[in-house]
């Protein structure tokens, strides 16, 4: 019960912070613009396919509105923008928690009400959970918005056709839809697009929590508030540049977190290894930062 109260108090603090509203507004605006742009492209593609393929039911089944959910559209600037900027936008809302309390002196008051262990544990737990939710809630809103605007919730017709596509049991007029096949989580898409996208959104939320917790840990050691906020995005972009230079694109989080799977050769092992590595870095930095501040707080 105490943990619930502590989380509620932390939430109230964040809600009173202007940065929280900036973060939420930016995330939701990107999603809304992605949906608007995506549905315009969907209607244009549907019209084009109907003209070219003369209402071929197999082809039409593969031109589905769910592909305009954020992360699945291959030609949507705002969809890609969400996945490019999420470390920064979520960091804006959450990473300056300890930093602000240290520099305002409020941390001394906090430590009179609870143990150091409780204080630091609640901070990292709240930050991780909040980062996860801040990442995933706008995306779920995007799914609902697309479905409402096209008045469609059942995508089983697509899953059935996708299953035939990967099994090679469907007749199509050409090979235009070979790019539909996914390297990873393909079996989930054959069951339901909802299951497929849920796995990706959860995975993205877990990584978002890791990035932001690394910045939270760094706030115990760094004196520049703005660098602390920028740190998740810096790490994300450095990873992108490094793996691009090394030619290891499947290890780049920007590629393996993207539901549309923008590159070939993706596999599960880089995702698992990167996640474990991220958690270990966040935990190690946090423990070191707490010990480094033993004589300060």
Give me the mean pLDDT over the 158-166 stretch: 92
pLDDT of amino acid 245: 94
Give me the mean pLDDT over the 249-253 stretch: 95
- Return the percentage of the chain with pLDDT > 70, whole number: 88
- The answer to whether residue 1 scores a pLDDT higher than 50 is no
Q: Tell me: the pLDDT tens digits for 208-239?
A: 999 999 999 998 888 888 899 999 999 999 99
- The answer to whether residue 117 scores a pLDDT higher than 90 is no
Q: Tell me the C-alpha distance between 89 and 60, whole Å.
A: 37
- Return the percentage of the chain with pLDDT > 90, whole number: 58
Range scoring the smallest mean pLDDT among 53-62, 72-81, 125-134, 140-149: 53-62
Range scoring the smallest mean pLDDT among 55-64, 129-138, 143-152: 55-64
- The answer to whether residue 6 scores a pLDDT higher than 70 is no
The model's confidence at residue 135, banded by pLDDT at 50, 70 and 90, is very high
Give me the mean pLDDT over the 45-53 stretch: 86
Q: How buried is residue 38: exposed, middle or buried, by Cβ count under 10 Å (0-12/13-18/19+)?
A: buried
In degrees to the nearest 10, what's the CA dihedral of 172, 179, 31, 91? 160
- Per the CB < 8 A criterion, the answer to whether 214 and 231 are in contact is yes
Q: Choose between 295 and 161: higher pLDDT.
A: 161
Sign, CA dihedral 227-229-231-233, equals: negative
- In order, the DSSP letters of the chain are -HHHHHHHHHHHHHHT-HHHHHHHHHHHHHHHHHHHHHHHHHHHHHHHHHHHTTT-HHHHHHS-GGGGSTTT-TT-HHHHHHHHHHHHHHHHHHTTHHHHHHHHSHHHHHHHHS-HHHHHHHHHHHHHHHHHHHHHHHHHHHHHHHHHHHT----HHHHHHHHHHHHT----SSSTTGGG--SSSHHHHHH-HHHHHHHHHHHHHHHHHHHHHHHHHHTTT---HHHHHHHHHHHHHHHHHHHHHHT-GGG-HHHHT-TT--SS---HHHHHHHHHHHHHHHHHHHHHHHHHTTTT-
pLDDT of amino acid 143: 97
Q: Choose between 135 and 45: higher pLDDT.
A: 135
Domain boundaries, the chain: 2-292
The model's confidence at residue 50, banded by pLDDT at 50, 70 and 90, is confident
CB under 8 Å to 256, separation ≥6 — which residues? Answer: 250, 266, 270, 271, 274
In angstroms and rounded to an integer, the radius of gyration of the C-alpha atoms of the chain is 22
Q: Tell me: the pLDDT tens digits for 12-30?
A: 666 777 888 999 999 999 9
pLDDT of amino acid 45: 87
pLDDT of amino acid 295: 59
Give whichever of 161-175, 185-199, 216-230, 276-290 has the largest mean pLDDT. Answer: 185-199
- The answer to whether residue 109 scores a pLDDT higher than 70 is no
- The answer to whether residue 249 scores a pLDDT higher than 90 is yes
Q: Tell me the C-alpha distance between 237 and 118, whole Å.
A: 33
């Amino acid at each position: 019960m105490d943990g619930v109260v502590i989380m509620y108090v932390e939430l109230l603090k964040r809600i009173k912070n202007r940065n929280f509203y900036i973060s939420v507004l930016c995330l939701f605006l990107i999603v809304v613009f992605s949906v608007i742009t995506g549905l315009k492209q969907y209607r244009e593609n549907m019209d084009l396919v109907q003209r070219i393929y003369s209402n071929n039911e197999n082809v039409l089944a593969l031109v589905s509105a769910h592909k305009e959910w954020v992360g699945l559209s291959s030609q949507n600037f705002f969809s890609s923008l969400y996945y490019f900027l999420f470390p920064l936008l979520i960091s804006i809302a959450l990473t300056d928690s300890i930093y602000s309390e240290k520099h305002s002196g409020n941390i001394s008051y906090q430590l009179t009400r609870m143990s150091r262990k409780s204080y630091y544990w609640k901070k990292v737990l709240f930050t991780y959970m909040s980062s996860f939710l801040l990442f995933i809630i706008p995306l779920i809103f995007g799914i609902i918005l697309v479905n409402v605007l096209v008045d469609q919730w059942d995508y089983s017709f697509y899953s059935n056709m996708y299953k035939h596509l990967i099994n090679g049991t469907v007749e199509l007029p050409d090979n235009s839809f070979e790019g539909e096949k996914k390297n990873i989580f393909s079996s989930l898409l054959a069951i339901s697009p909802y299951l497929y996208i849920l796995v990706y959104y959860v995975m993205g939320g877990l990584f978002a929590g890791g990035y932001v917790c690394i910045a939270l840990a760094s706030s115990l050691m760094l004196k520049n508030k703005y660098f602390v906020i920028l740190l998740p995005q810096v790490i994300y972009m450095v990873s992108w540049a490094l793996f691009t230079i090394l030619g290891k694109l499947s290890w780049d989080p920007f590629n393996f977190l993207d539901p549309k799977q923008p590159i070939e050769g993706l596999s599960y092992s880089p995702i698992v290894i990167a996640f474990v590595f991220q958690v270990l870095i966040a935990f190690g930095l946090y423990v070191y930062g707490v010990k480094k501040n033993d004589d300060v707080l």
